[in-house]
Amino acid sequence: MRIDVLTLFPSMFDTVMSTSMMWKARERGALDFHRHDIREYAIDKHRQVDDSPYGGGGGMILKPDVLARAIEAVKGKAAMPVILLSPQGRRLTQSAAFELSREARLLLVCGHYEGVDERLRQLLISDEISIGDYVLTNGELAAMVLIDAVARLLPGVLGAEGAFLRDSHADGLLEGPHYTRPPLFRGRGVPAVLTSGHHAEVARWRRRQSLKRTLERRPDMLENAALNEEDRAFLAELSAERKP
């Protein structure tokens, strides 16, 4: 996959894009990353990238002519989703990240201030995505969150084959608890099933812990999770225990 990002702060991407997972993804040829400074597409003598809003009221809006020049220069004749990171976008979820990971190219646009000119949005943005219901100073952090969530799903990026299939959210459930050495930590042991060597029992315990945690913390997720008869019976049991 190739990812291009249009940004006013290109250097913000340097540390994140050279961490171990990103470095592996790029070294293995799974991810080709390019950043572009929006200011290089401002051609007036002050290199102005933003302007005050019509109608007044403060804040600054990214100029549509500058952003259009940047988007068109990077896209060339190729077709690809042009994604604006903004609080008004559809939510980035694990399944949205999975869908994006199947694209050959992505062009990410990092907005600032009060956002971008509406005509630019209508004419040149194909998709608007939000990483969550909060406002950030700029879209760069949101773009990096999206890149991370997508890059780790690219074939060959995570060491173990399909390791991400065990992630929280991968099957619509939260992950249960994990344990490692030592066997006794500050008086607390490890569930016996995990050291029993019974693989089927371990799998069943993990599934149940996952269901229990999802019911306790994110019951909303159970509506869309892929549940079998045994899962439903276990959840019914838990609910009965909780409201006797």
User: Catalytic residue positions?
Assistant: 87, 114, 152, 167
Closest to ligand 4G3 by CB, 132 vs 219, is 132
Query: Of these, 31, 42, 120, 131, which contacts ligand 4G3 (CB under 6 A)?
Result: 131
Q: Are the C-beta atoms of 94 and 169 separated by less than 8 Å?
A: yes
Paired with 108 in beta bridges are: 5, 83
List binders of ligand 4G3 among 136-175 (CB under 6 A): 136, 138-139, 142
Closest to ligand 4G3 by CB, 17 vs 142, is 142
Part in contact with ligand 4G3 (CB under 6 A); list of ranges 20-28, 107-115, 173-181, 190-198: 107-115
Spatial separation of the C-alpha atoms in residues 36 and 66, rounded to whole Å: 13
List binders of ligand 4G3 among 178-207 (CB under 6 A): none
Total residues contacting ligand 4G3 by CB under 6 A comes to: 16
Peptide bond into 182 cis (omega under 30): yes
Q: Does 8 bind ligand 4G3 (CB under 6 A)?
A: no
Query: Of these, 61, 67, 85, 124, which contacts ligand 4G3 (CB under 6 A)?
Result: 85
Question: Least Å distance between CB 57 and ligand 4G3?
Answer: 14
Residue 222: other Cβ atoms inside 10 A: 16
Question: Least Å distance between CB 84 and ligand 4G3?
Answer: 6
* The pair of three-digit structure tokens given for residue 93, joined into one six-digit string: 């979820």
List binders of ligand 4G3 among 55-84 (CB under 6 A): none
Q: Does 87 bind ligand 4G3 (CB under 6 A)?
A: yes
- List the beta strands (DSSP E) in 38-150: 50-51, 61-62, 82-91, 105-110, 115-116, 127-130
Q: What share of the chain is helix, strand, coil (3-state, %, to 5)?
A: 40, 15, 40
Question: Least Å distance between CB 174 and ligand 4G3?
Answer: 22
Closest to ligand 4G3 by CB, 52 vs 196, is 52
Spatial separation of the C-alpha atoms in residues 75 and 80, rounded to whole Å: 8
- Spell 94-113 as b/e; 16+ CB within 10 A means b: bebbeebbeeeebbbbbbbb
Spatial CA neighbour of 214 closest among 202, 231, 229? 231
Q: Are the C-beta atoms of 9 and 139 separated by less than 8 Å?
A: no
List binders of ligand 4G3 among 108-127 (CB under 6 A): 111-112, 114-115
Q: Does 53 bind ligand 4G3 (CB under 6 A)?
A: no
Residues that bind ligand 4G3 (CB under 6 A): 85-87, 111-112, 114-115, 130-132, 134-136, 138-139, 142
